[in-house]
A and B are shown apart, each in its own frame.
Chain A
Amino acid sequence: MSETHKEHPSPTKYVQIAIVLAILTAIEVALYYTEDIVGALAAPLLIVLAVGKFVIVVGWFMHLRYENSLINKFFAGGMILALILFAIVMIERAVGNFI
């Protein structure tokens, strides 16, 4: 079948991406230890970093960037659906039957 996706990056590019990932991880761990200093910002920052790593791996290593939009739709669809449903469940369980 016809593979219509664009050229994949080169090994050097991959190594560079990995280095970025490693740095992000280092920042995460650093954030954890400096939580007292960073304060309430730590949790959101950690989430942002995790999302960043997530996107990098999915986009480059899994080649989703280079993939047919159909696949993108499925994956994003699954993500969004899961996020919405589970957010509702979590909120509902957190407030109990009081609101």
Chain B
Amino acid sequence: MSDAHAYPHEPTGVETRKLGFWIFLSTEILFFGTLITTFLIFKGRDFPGIKLTDVYDIPFTSVSSFVLLMSSLTMVLAHNALETNDQEKTRVWLLATAMLGAVFLAGQIYEFTEFYHKGFELSTNIFSSTFYVLTGFHGLHVFIGVVLLLALWGVGQRQRGLSLNEGMNLEFIALYWHFVDIVWIVLFTVVYLI
């Protein structure tokens, strides 16, 4: 926060926006929790028709999971670069993160279309519905993340460059991005592996 007006506060030691953002992330847990719960409840039940195990492709999804995981690394490197005020590197890592995210998204789109063609459609059965809504909701998060990353990269191209102190800054987008990644860590296990 800029100290333009030095209005005295009782400090908690956490920057206001960061605090707000973490609270937002805490509630995101509930969003995904509800989705995962629904998924698990139906996973244990009988349902007619085609199952995920009939259509999925573990090697493919493993690779895209790996891609998303690595994007967390590039993200944290971007953050680190900005902490040392290396604008050049920051932009590179940002772009890399966005690209990795885009690759993951592309993979998901490919996967969805594959599934569709194999007859595993949104309303095929209760399992396919929960699968698409759960992973789709995550995909939407990734998509928003990519847009934000690109926007940030665009802002970084401007003269003043990026800073950790103002604007909808890199730190929050990084937090968001990591969060999306950890959700996928859980989903990959719960949806595909178990």
Are these two chains actual partners, yes or no?
Answer: yes
Chain B count of residues within 8 A CB distance of the other chain:
51
Asked whether B182 lies within 8 Å of A57 as measured between CB atoms, the reply is yes
Asked whether A21 lies within 8 Å of B15 as measured between CB atoms, the reply is no
What is the predominant secondary structure among interface residues of chain B facing chain A? helix
Q: Chain A contacts of B62 at CB under 8 A?
A: 25, 29
Range class of the A interface residue count: 35 or more
Asked whether B16 lies within 8 Å of A1 as measured between CB atoms, the reply is yes
Asked whether A43 lies within 8 Å of B29 as measured between CB atoms, the reply is no
Asked whether B193 lies within 8 Å of A86 as measured between CB atoms, the reply is no
Q: Chain A contacts of B80 at CB under 8 A?
A: 8, 10-11, 14
How many cross-chain pairs have Cβ atoms below 8 Å apart between A and B? Answer: 127
Inter-chain CA distance A77–B190, complex, in Å, is: 22
Asked whether A57 lies within 8 Å of B26 as measured between CB atoms, the reply is no
Asked whether B193 lies within 8 Å of A74 as measured between CB atoms, the reply is no
Query: Which listed residue (A8, A18, A60, A82) contacts B70, Cβ 8 A?
Result: A18
Q: Which residues of B contact A (CB under 8 A)?
A: 1, 11-16, 18-19, 22-23, 25-27, 29-30, 33-34, 36-37, 40-41, 44, 58-59, 62, 65-66, 69-70, 72-73, 75-77, 80, 83, 174-175, 178-179, 181-182, 185-186, 188-190, 192-194
Q: Which residues of A contact B (CB under 8 A)?
A: 1-4, 8, 10-11, 14-15, 17-18, 21-22, 25, 28-29, 31-33, 42-43, 46-47, 49-50, 53-54, 57-58, 60-62, 67-68, 70-71, 74-75, 77-79, 81-83, 85-86, 89-90, 93-94
